[in-house]
Amino acid sequence: MSNPPDINSHHFTEKLSLLSTSYLSNSYLDHTIDNLLRPAYPKEDLIRRLAWNIAGGQGCKVMPVEEDTILLGAFHGHSKITPMLFQVWTNILRSAGNSRLVMSPPSSSAALTNLIGELNYAGIMSQSSSRNSNSSSSSRSSSSRVLILPHSEWFEHVYYKSAVDVYMDTIIKNGHTTTMDAAWGGIPILGLAGQSRATQRSTESISRYLLGDLDCCGLVYSLKEYEDVLIALIKTRRGRRRLEHWKRVARLMRLQSSFFNPIHFADSFTRNLQALYEVHSMHNNNSSRVDTLYHVFHSSSTLN
């Protein structure tokens, strides 16, 4: 485990062994360092790469993004998206007309049909390509507020996703690989934290150990706060400044945080195993059950 035992211990009969950063560990530095050092992928280029405009079908011309457009990323499998969370996302899209949702491809044509139906029901299926109220209706065309990101090569997709402004995590089961990819893409991550099962705590683990106590950690504690934070980031000047700061920090921490250091992770994990062995040995040599009384915390230092 990688979260404090005072939050997680009631979920388990065993005592916890706390890892140094997260139970997820990977490093793309050897494969994507050139991409990581480049500026964020241009939003306009990402839009041109879209597999389809959901309002018009495969190959339909996609409306260019406005200068102040905010792209909200939801790269999870669609089975993780609950009706309650989808309602929050549509509330955000209705409240902030300059926001657009970028999703991963549906698993089937039936899933796409259902998605379009829900978007129509929510009233945010399309938007005008012109904000000039004096323009005639015939000069305006509709384009989906929800855009589908095409499949791409394993390492390329991380760079493409860097065009997105915020990654929105799911709540029943957090993103694991998708959240890590968002972190590698330098995208601010918004996730729901708090008293929940271990399967729901991956994003909190990633965010806490990637950004620590910084004011842009991106953790909220209710769906109401989830919605309010995103709307404020999109619609207010203060929110936009905060979002730009958050994006700069997220891009910087990819290269500086020990979170993405597999050597540090392996060394700390080894120390945990050594500590577990010592606790087990103490139990065998003493009558007291010390292994059931103490959590095992990671060492803050690494092996020489």
Answer yes or no: do 119 and 144 share one domain.
yes
- Whether the Cβ atoms of residue 145 and residue 90 lie closer than 8 Å to each other: no
Whether 60 shows a pLDDT value over 80: the answer reads no
pLDDT at 88: 94
Structure tokens at 166: 């915020």
Confidence (pLDDT) at 236: 92
Indicate whether 53 and 165 sit together in one domain: yes
64 in the same domain as 184: yes
Average pLDDT over residues 240-251: 91
Task: Please state, in angstroms and rounded to a whole number, the distance separating the CA atoms of residues 7 and 170.
Answer: 20
DSSP bridge pairs for 101: 72, 146
* Helix-then-strand count for the chain, H and E: 11, 10
In a domain, 133, yes or no: no
Identify whether residues 76 and 224 lie together within a single domain: yes
Structure tokens at 1: 């485990």
Element (DSSP H or E) covering residue 148: strand 146-148
Q: Which residue has the higher pLDDT, 292 or 256?
A: 256
Separation of CA 142 from chain center: 29
Residue 52 in domain: yes
Q: For all residues of the chain together, what is the average pLDDT?
A: 75
Q: How far, in Å, CA of 181 to CA of 76, rounded?
A: 11
Containing domain of residue 160, as a range? 28-127+140-259
CB of 118 closer than 8 Å to CB of 86: yes
> Is 31's pLDDT higher than 50?
yes
pLDDT score of 8 more than 80 = no
Which residues lie below 8 Å from residue 62, measured CB to CB, with a gap of 6+?
47, 48, 50, 53, 143, 147
72: pLDDT strictly greater than 90: yes
CATH number for position 67:
3.40.50.2000
Q: Which residue has the tokens 């990977």?
A: 26
- Say yes or no to pLDDT of 12 above 70: yes
What is the pLDDT averaged over residues 105-113?
82
- Of the three residues 239, 259, 279, the one that is the final residue of a domain is 259
* Cα gap 220→168, rounded to integer Å: 11
CA 267 centroid distance within chain: 27
Give the chain's length: 304
Q: What pLDDT does 215 receive?
A: 65
Average pLDDT over residues 132-159: 60
Whether residues 253 and 291 fall in one domain: no
Domain count, the chain: 2
Count Cβ atoms below 10 Å from residue 28 Cβ, excluding itself: 19
Q: Give Cα separations from 264 to 29, 92, 203, 256 (angstroms).
A: 15, 39, 20, 13
Same domain, 71 and 84: yes
Q: Do both 117 and 88 map to the same domain?
A: yes
Assess whether 95 and 239 both reside in one domain: yes
Region of poorest pLDDT, from 15-24, 117-126, 195-204: 195-204
> Considering the entire predicted model, what is its pTM?
0.78
Whether residue 232 is contained in a domain is answered as yes
Q: Average pLDDT, stretch 159-180?
A: 86
Q: Are residues 218 and 288 in the same domain?
A: no
